[in-house]
Amino acid sequence: MVSQRHRKDASQRGPSPVRSSRKRRFYLLALPYIAAFGLLWAMNLALPSFDPSLYIPFTQDIQMDGITYREINRKYLEPFFPAGSPMVPELKNSLFRPVKAPNTLRVLCLGESSMFGVPFAFAATIPSLVRKQLRHLYPDLDVEVINLGASAINTNVIREMVPQYLSLEPDLVLVYSGHNEFYGPEGIGASWVERQVPALTPWKYRLRRLPLVSWLQRWIGRVSSGQDDGEGNLMRQVSGGAQVALESPEALRIFDQFRRNLHDIVHGIREQGIPVIVGEISSNLMFPPFAPRPPMNPGQLPSAVTSGRYAVAESLLTGGLSADSASAYYLYWRGRLCLAQGDSGAAARFLERARDHDLLKFRAPGRINEIIHQVGHDESVPVLPIDSLLRAASPRGITDSTFFSEHLHPTFLGYDQIARMFVRAIVDWGFVHPSRPAAASLLPFQPDSLSVPWLDLGFGALGLRTLTSRWPFTEMPRRRDVLDSCADWELNIARNVYARKVGWTDACLQYAKEAQLHQRPWGTVTALSALVEEYPQRYFLRYGLAAAYETVGKTNDAIAQYRRGIALRPGLAQPAVDFASLLIDEGQYDEAERLLQSLLAAPASEGASTEFRAMALYGLAVIEANRDSIPSALQLVEESLRLAPGYQAALSLKSQILGNTRR
């Protein structure tokens, strides 16, 4: 028996030699891993110091005209795509003010390539057209509409980016998304592990944002053989040519994933008290399915339908559908036959089935819109019936090339129609403010009214030609476009923008100058107007637009632009003198007088040069002469000539005053 003292001595002895040995062995084994992890983490922290591009923030501050703006980082989507991707889609580098003013309405537009605006560049897109109409309807608001759409992304990406969207402090969010669910990130190309454990996907995206992982991805991309050949190859890149049957387990997984994603997106935004409007998605029902390809004698069935040999067509369709009742090819031509025979209702049903059973799912099946309505109902958010409204406005109630450039990207008219639906919903449902009714009706569909320059339409035509000349558009005939009737100088500018040899802003300025030289004053107006819509705080753009409005006789618009420009940058002599001259011509003497006197009252070190002071004095002399204050007018014109003895306008005015006095 051990005594109490011996037990106490035993308890005070250290750990047993066996346990101590195990701990030392564990530490010795773990030490290399800890050291390796520490080294990697140190490299991860140090890499941005050597290559700042490895740090990819969602927004970044830039300086423009002495004003700080926040800019969306075009490269932010890089971590959502695997290493070696031939092309990584980009966001638009939209600008907005870092601190929202009290009268700001900030709208975010979420979606894929259709929200991005393919094939157009800036002005003919849903966000730009929504912004133009809202600024027209609510001129006292500072309207910011931020385009956050991008090609090739889907709701997996959008859901992951919700925290970044919320950091922008939006007042309203518009969503038009659903076509890329099959071929976007983690669609049918998702790994087996991620299919079993979807929660791993966000962690993968976060891991790719680490500078070290980003550097490794870029290194792999450099040594890979993939080449960036544009949008056409992007379609092959994201799909891999993979075909998906409508009722396959993979399709059902995608539908379920879309439902979860859309719910999380809408719910996450609404939880912050931000209203959301979700739109149905639409596509071209008259566009033939991509897969399967036609059987033997591919021209036989189309020829029978289009030439009116309906019995032959019926026989071919019966044989084809009896062999495969889900063949998108035969369903499509069954719909075309019904349409040729005057049964548009049956035609629409067969064309819908052809779209849904297309094995290359670049167009979303109808079930996607069913899910959109279900989520909208569950989350109590409005769902715009975009597809239904476009069908109602289409010939025979079937969407075709009236609103779509190819299989799903809208034409300029199509984008305009979708933008109008969003704007009407914003107004009708009081999302701006119930007490702020719209000040006017919507602007008409006309490029000049909507600030859509020819350059954007030309850029879109180039993009569409490139897109439809590659896989999978092997049989699409080219339609006439604006490039068929444009001038050589227009085509050259559009090509330079498309090839990224010149930026959009510089190209618009170049187009405005060339349009003026080639006697196209409205081309100058619209190009400058598009830039003012994109950069409303850039005073020199407003001055240029004011002068262009004067040229086409739009005096009220010119006056409005001069006022906005001078408010942005008061004290500049040339705009003040030009504006005062316009006001004098319009008989608005009081405002012109205040403007010129303010210019003359500025200290010599800060004010106008001698030349502009002489012009200001001349302007005041004209005002006094028109008021019949002849002595005062003569005194002012003499002072103007003292500063600029050879000033011809002042000499003429003096001669006229003296002549009238002698009489």
pLDDT tens digits, 24-73 = 666 666 677 677 667 766 776 777 777 777 788 999 999 988 889 999 99
Span 70-82, average pLDDT: 91
Fold of 70-190+245-285+363-428: Rossmann fold (3.40.50)
pLDDT band of 1, cuts 50, 70, 90? very low
Tokens of 485: 């009737």
Token code pair at residue 48? 């941005």
Provide mean pLDDT across the span 242-255: 94
Least confident of 26-40, 297-311, 317-331: 26-40
Most confident of 189-193, 489-493, 658-662: 489-493
Q: Which has more confidence, 657 or 110?
A: 110
pLDDT, greater one: 458 or 608: 458
One-letter amino acid at 205 equals Y
**What does the pLDDT read at residue 297?**
78
Q: Does residue 156 carry a pLDDT above 70?
A: yes
Question: Which residue would you say has higher pLDDT here, 660 or 97?
Answer: 97
Does the pLDDT of residue 223 top 80, yes or no? Answer: no
Q: What is the mean pLDDT of the chain?
A: 89
pLDDT band at 20 (very low <50, low <70, confident <90, very high): low
pLDDT-based confidence at 649, cuts 50/70/90? very high
pLDDT one-digit tens code per residue, 101-138: 889 999 999 999 999 999 998 999 999 999 999 999 99
Task: Decide whether 70-190+245-285+363-428 matches 300-357 in CATH topology.
Answer: no
Cβ atoms of residues 554 and 521 within 8 Å: no
Length reported for the chain: 663
Please, what is the Cα angle at 432 between 426 and 435, to 5 degrees? 120
* Residue 572 backbone zone (phi > 0: left; psi -120 to 50: alpha; other: beta): beta
What residues contact 623, with CB distance under 8 A and at least 6 apart?
A: 584, 589, 592, 593
Q: Based on DSSP, count helices (H) and strands (E) in the chain, helices before strands.
A: 29, 8
Residue 70 φ/ψ, nearest 5 degrees: -105, 135
Q: Give me 344's structure tokens.
A: 């548009």
> What residue spans define the domains of the chain?
4-50, 70-190+245-285+363-428, 300-357
Task: Convert 562-596 to b/e letters by CB count within 10 Å (16 or more is b).
Answer: bebbbebbeebbebbbbbbbbbbeeeebeebbebb
Q: CA 231 from chain center: how many Å?
A: 16
388 band by pLDDT with thresholds 50, 70 and 90: very high
> Residues 330, 467, 161, CA angle at the centre, nearest 5°?
100
pLDDT at 270: 97
For residue 155, count CB atoms less than 10 angstroms from its CB and return exposed for 0-12, middle for 13-18, buried for 19 or more: buried
Beta strand ranges found along 205-305 (DSSP E): 276-279
pLDDT at 2 > cutoff 50: no
pLDDT, mean of residues 356-374 = 97
The pLDDT value recorded for residue 242 is 87
Decide which of 2.60.40, 1.10.150, 1.10.3470, 1.25.40 is the CATH code for 300-357.
Answer: 1.25.40
Compute the average pLDDT of residues 610-621. 93
**Helices 344-357/366-379 angle, 10° precision:** 90
| Whether 72 contacts 44, CB under 8 Å | no
Q: What is the largest CA-CA distance in the chain?
A: 143
Tens of pLDDT, residues 157-173:
999 999 999 999 999 99
Q: What is the pLDDT of residue 499?
A: 94
Q: What is the token pair recorded at 533?
A: 């819509």
Residue 552 has pLDDT above 80, yes or no: yes
pLDDT at 87 (0 to 100) = 77
